[in-house]
Structure 1
Amino acid sequence: MAGSICGLDCGQCAWREQCRGCEATCGRPFGEGCIAARCCARRGLARCAECSERCALKRRAIDEFNALGIPDMPEVTDLNLLKGSVVNIEYTLSGGQHVKFWRDDEIYLGNQLERLNSDRCYGIVASDNYLLVCEYEASGADARIVAFKRRVNAQG
């Protein structure tokens, strides 16, 4: 099994049969990029473990999500590396258009948080350039955009 840039155990990954490995593909395991691999490349590092600012990428995104001040959203304390197809929910805009924001084969930072005092969840996703907070029912049903914002010091 190919090694990972971020330190995840590829042998335990649910995508191991479809993934070509981030080391073998220069940070493009599914043909698109990875937010962690780009962070390493910008710093001239081969893998996240070499970074003296361990998880600064996550900390910055967590701080940006928490600064949004969204009612009933618990404090964000962790983010995971997630394949775009997992977080790429379709939204219906007010004009009736159906849109998706993410690339299915890109790797993003994200998490799911239970909305306080509700049976709905918040889904949060960070790319190099944008933050998305949405809320939805079980299995992503009735998804609604809560916040979509260009990130502070966006990369592109």
Structure 2
Amino acid sequence: MTNKLALFDCDGTMVDSQANICASMDLAFQKNGLIPPDHHLVRRIVGLSLTEAVGQLLPGGNEVIVAKVTQSYKDGFFELRQSGGVQEPLYEGLLQTLEALEASGWVLGVATGKSDRGLRHVLETHGLLDRFVTLQTADRHPSKPHPA
């Protein structure tokens, strides 16, 4: 028997999280006295590891400011989530897609720029954690497009 593996990204593929990402990036830049980037630019970096994403949004930024904005993003996103301000709805048709793949013998996994904590929260919130045999996150792997 040949196993077939379907890997999904999380943000922008399984869940619509763009409003949360844009709001958190706005807060992170403002907290560091910077003008927030256009949301179009923010949406283009979704899926990258956070440090890589912030680095792309601050092309002239040094490592210190990139690290500060990255930490501010993490802190702000966590605060938003704790206060109930984060909404990450599943895209329409995702559950049916997962069910159809599983019924056809596919094994499912996730490869994302999200952190372990963030991915686990999303999957647990939607009751999907047990559907995936592998969870690959930015906590253990370099950002896309690196093959790891």
**Which TM class, normalised by the smaller chain length?**
under 0.3
Task: Give me the TM-score of the superposition, normalised by structure 1.
Answer: 0.26
Greater strand content: 1
Task: Give me the TM-score of the superposition, normalised by structure 2.
Answer: 0.27
